[in-house]
A and B are shown apart, each in its own frame.
Chain A
């Protein structure tokens, strides 16, 4: 069956209804392995969770076909949080105390995770999430929480590395929107650039609804910026920056947030050429090389997905990451023979370069940021094909 957005929604709703009366005793070591899935499947920030969900369901299907984990089935308990931290907390609480899940995957955005992390830590609930805010991972405070995606700090490092070592420029302009995320990301990025000796020629925050960004671009140019670093999810603002760059005839690269490669940017561009020389954060595992090939492990995964999971309207890394999350829980139960919290957390703490599809995860009791910084790369923003992007110029 092809996993589509509509199918995923219906199945999630069915899981939601079906799972409610199935509360089970906590120490059932022979029943199904229950994985809570805190997914923002509807609402304005639903796109990632819909992608993650496809990977989750594909992993469950694959494990079931192979006979389960030591004969035990995997069951996903999905709750649609709608991107709302309150709903996410209620759902997490329900999964912990009523559903008695063995591990929780998600939530998938930082706003929700900031609210749920402490709740899960109190219950010692094994938790994997892909949220970027650095403070969400702290093995001393939250020994149960593990990250399978890069943190903000790792994104930032990858962007600086690309500007300084690949583009070889020292004069940067750092731009964000006026949201809390924009403000904090610009401040962190500017501080890190300065620490490494780069010259932050200009920094600003632009209101996402500002109709014309010409004055801002002129000030960046006059300040001598040789690259523009953008931290924003506002596709409107990003498209305006690209359009004005073309109108000014300014040949400056734009580097930054993954939203730069969103399909929403494409339709707001006055000319497709305005999208050239724009490089966004991407991942080595989900990027095409110069010959248009994915890395072998990802290529094999995509071949398995063919005909079963739609990739044309989502990001490959979302699907890969959702798949890895389920596999990581399954592997923990398989390796330790137990679905108890301590066993799962202990196993994750012992992982060294675990070969997931999205990344090679390494966790220790002291470090729960599992995604290697070296696998965070820059991609060409205008090169999306089947959910993956081409590597930006400069990578071997």
Chain B
């Protein structure tokens, strides 16, 4: 999404939260089988990605010099959260078991890891092996040049938002048993999602993965050593220190200036 539009959307965390809520709704409330509920969840989240592009990004993107954060996505994110609170629940709700067996480690711990690996692999293949993936990179690199070459910029941007929605939905679904289907997960996923992305370097997927793993290790170490509210203090202190030392992120390329 960031690659294709240069927009950091505040809806990402909320769509992740909705991945858990939709999963619980389809499977536990509507009693759909998992093989139906899971693709429906991804589809619904992709739809919300498209909606974000149409409602919150497209009307404002043309008038912005440097996009990065579009506040209209924050407004939409807050609307999503309120709507979910009213229609779903303000209390966390249970999420169904998916596989039903642990292989030594409970599935709630390894399912998110598996989903993460699948996404990394999928995105790498997309960007390196497919024309669509290369087109995403092309419009991110230079919007005007890409459209001058005849690339359907708007459609590609919409496709990237749909893909981002589905990926966020997958994250929410895979982590549903750990996070529970709760509206409180939206802001939390936004905060803890942004940190590794910024640490790794914006638009750098492999950097974000490394940043995420480092953050996870650091957070758990802090959790065991200091615990409680001090964990987020420790995480954000480390984040600030790293960004002061390397503003472009640990793995990001230093900004180039056009002359």
A: which residues have CB within 8 A of B? 44, 178, 204-209, 211-212, 215-216, 218-219, 235-236, 239, 264, 267-268
User: Would A205 and B229 count as touching, CB distance under 8 A?
Assistant: yes
* B73 CB-CB contact with A under 8 Å: no
User: Would A209 and B179 count as touching, CB distance under 8 A?
Assistant: yes
Determine the chain A residues whose CB is within 8 A of the CB of B90 once the complex forms.
44
Q: Smallest distance from the beta carbon of A322 to chain B beta carbons, Å?
A: 23
* B232 CB-CB contact with A under 8 Å: yes
Determine the chain B residues whose CB is within 8 A of the CB of A264 once the complex forms.
91-93
Determine which of B94, B223, B229 lies in contact with A267 in the assembled complex, contact meaning CB atoms within 8 Å.
Answer: B94
Complex interface bits, B80-107 against A, C-beta within 8 A gives 1, otherwise 0 = 0000010000111110000000000000
CA gap between A235 and B188 in the complex, in Å: 17
Q: A211-B175, A215-B227, A236-B91 are in contact. List 19 more A-B contacts (CB 8 A).
A: A204-B228, A206-B228, A207-B232, A209-B185, A209-B188, A211-B178, A211-B179, A215-B223, A218-B224, A219-B224, A219-B227, A235-B92, A236-B182, A239-B92, A264-B93, A267-B94, A268-B92, A268-B94, A268-B180
What are 25 A-B pairs at a CB distance below 8 A? A44-B90, A178-B229, A204-B228, A205-B229, A206-B228, A207-B229, A207-B231, A208-B184, A209-B184, A209-B188, A211-B175, A211-B178, A211-B179, A212-B178, A215-B224, A216-B223, A216-B228, A219-B224, A235-B92, A236-B184, A264-B91, A267-B94, A268-B92, A268-B94, A268-B180
Q: Smallest distance from the beta carbon of A231 to chain B beta carbons, Å?
A: 14
CB-CB nearest in chain A for B182? A236
* B147 CB-CB contact with A under 8 Å: no
Q: Smallest distance from the beta carbon of B15 to chain A beta carbons, Å?
A: 16
* B237 CB-CB contact with A under 8 Å: no
CA gap between A216 and B229 in the complex, in Å: 11
List CB contacts (< 8 Å) of B214-244 with chain A. 220, 223-224, 227-229, 231-232
Q: Which of A207, A208, A209, A264 has the most CB of B within 10 A?
A: A209
CB-CB nearest in chain B for A259? B91
CA gap between A178 and B93 in the complex, in Å: 20
Determine the chain B residues whose CB is within 8 A of the CB of A239 once the complex forms.
92
Q: Which of B92, B188, B223 has the most CB of A within 10 A?
A: B92
List CB contacts (< 8 Å) of B166-184 with chain A. 175, 178-180, 182, 184
CA gap between A268 and B232 in the complex, in Å: 25
B: which residues have CB within 8 A of A? 85, 90-94, 175, 178-180, 182, 184-185, 188, 220, 223-224, 227-229, 231-232
Q: Which of B90, B179, B180, B188 has the most CB of A within 10 A?
A: B180
Determine which of B85, B178, B224, B228 lies in contact with A44 in the assembled complex, contact meaning CB atoms within 8 Å.
Answer: B85
CA gap between A218 and B229 in the complex, in Å: 16
CB-CB nearest in chain A for B175? A211
User: Would B182 and A209 count as touching, CB distance under 8 A?
Assistant: yes
Q: Which of B175, B227, B231 has the most CB of A within 10 A?
A: B227
Determine the chain A residues whose CB is within 8 A of the CB of B232 once the complex forms.
207
Determine the chain B residues whose CB is within 8 A of the CB of A235 once the complex forms.
91-92
Q: Smallest distance from the beta carbon of A204 to chain B beta carbons, Å?
A: 4
CA gap between A215 and B91 in the complex, in Å: 23
CB-CB nearest in chain A for B97? A270
Determine the chain A residues whose CB is within 8 A of the CB of B93 once the complex forms.
264, 267-268
User: Would B220 and A215 count as touching, CB distance under 8 A?
Assistant: yes
CA gap between A219 and B226 in the complex, in Å: 10
User: Would B220 and A236 count as touching, CB distance under 8 A?
Assistant: no
CA gap between A219 and B224 in the complex, in Å: 8
CA gap between A239 and B91 in the complex, in Å: 12
CA gap between A236 and B220 in the complex, in Å: 20
Q: Smallest distance from the beta carbon of B195 to chain A beta carbons, Å?
A: 15
CA gap between A207 and B93 in the complex, in Å: 17
Q: Smallest distance from the beta carbon of A202 to chain B beta carbons, Å?
A: 9
Determine the chain B residues whose CB is within 8 A of the CB of A216 once the complex forms.
223, 227-228
Q: Smallest distance from the beta carbon of B9 to chain A beta carbons, Å?
A: 20
CA gap between A278 and B91 in the complex, in Å: 20
User: Would B227 and A204 count as touching, CB distance under 8 A?
Assistant: yes
Q: Smallest distance from the beta carbon of B161 to chain A beta carbons, Å?
A: 26
CA gap between A204 and B94 in the complex, in Å: 25
Determine the chain A residues whose CB is within 8 A of the CB of B92 once the complex forms.
235-236, 239, 264, 268
Determine the chain B residues whose CB is within 8 A of the CB of A206 once the complex forms.
228
Determine the chain B residues whose CB is within 8 A of the CB of A208 once the complex forms.
184
CA gap between A264 and B179 in the complex, in Å: 15
CA gap between A178 and B253 in the complex, in Å: 38
Q: Smallest distance from the beta carbon of B134 to chain A beta carbons, Å?
A: 37
Determine the chain B residues whose CB is within 8 A of the CB of A211 once the complex forms.
175, 178-179
The 7 A-B residue pairs with the shortest CB-CB distance, nearest first, are A236-B92, A44-B90, A204-B228, A215-B223, A211-B178, A264-B91, A209-B188
User: Would B184 and A205 count as touching, CB distance under 8 A?
Assistant: no
CB-CB nearest in chain A for B184? A209
Determine the chain B residues whose CB is within 8 A of the CB of A218 once the complex forms.
224
CA gap between A44 and B87 in the complex, in Å: 11
CA gap between A385 and B56 in the complex, in Å: 48
Q: Smallest distance from the beta carbon of B159 to chain A beta carbons, Å?
A: 31
CB-CB nearest in chain B for A267? B94
CA gap between A307 and B4 in the complex, in Å: 62
Determine the chain A residues whose CB is within 8 A of the CB of B188 once the complex forms.
207, 209
Q: Smallest distance from the beta carbon of B252 to chain A beta carbons, Å?
A: 28
CA gap between A308 and B108 in the complex, in Å: 45
CA gap between A236 and B184 in the complex, in Å: 10
Q: Smallest distance from the beta carbon of B145 to chain A beta carbons, Å?
A: 43
Determine the chain A residues whose CB is within 8 A of the CB of B179 once the complex forms.
209, 211
Determine the chain A residues whose CB is within 8 A of the CB of B182 once the complex forms.
209, 236
Determine the chain A residues whose CB is within 8 A of the CB of B180 once the complex forms.
236, 268
CB-CB nearest in chain A for B189? A209
Q: Smallest distance from the beta carbon of A3 to chain B beta carbons, Å?
A: 23
Determine the chain B residues whose CB is within 8 A of the CB of A212 once the complex forms.
178
Determine the chain A residues whose CB is within 8 A of the CB of B224 once the complex forms.
215, 218-219
